[in-house]
Amino acid sequence: MAALQESVQKAKASRGEDANVHDLPTTTTTVRAVGEGMRRLAGGYYTFLTGTSE
């Protein structure tokens, strides 16, 4: 992850942009929303494969 952040900083600096990289906040709400989205995606994929709902 550190190598990626360093690469981003160098690329932004070369373009003259603000080179600060900030971590995204990880909140319980965000984690919960991602989990719910993944469950919906998996349920839809199951329905697609089997032709039936769970």
Indicate whether this model's pTM tops 0.75. no
Rounded CA gap, 54 and 47, in Å? 7
Q: Please give the pLDDT value at position 26.
A: 65
Q: Please identify which residue in the block is written with the tokens 């550190």.
A: 2
Q: Please give the pLDDT value at position 25.
A: 67
**Could you give the dihedral angle defined by the CA atoms of residues 25, 27, 29 and 31, in that order, rounded to the nearest 10 degrees?**
90
Q: Please give the pLDDT value at position 53.
A: 61
* Dihedral-angle region of residue 14 (phi above 0 means left; psi in -120 to 50 means alpha; beta otherwise): alpha
Q: For residue range 1-54, list pLDDT tens digits in order.
A: 788 888 888 888 888 776 566 676 667 777 788 878 888 888 777 777 777 665
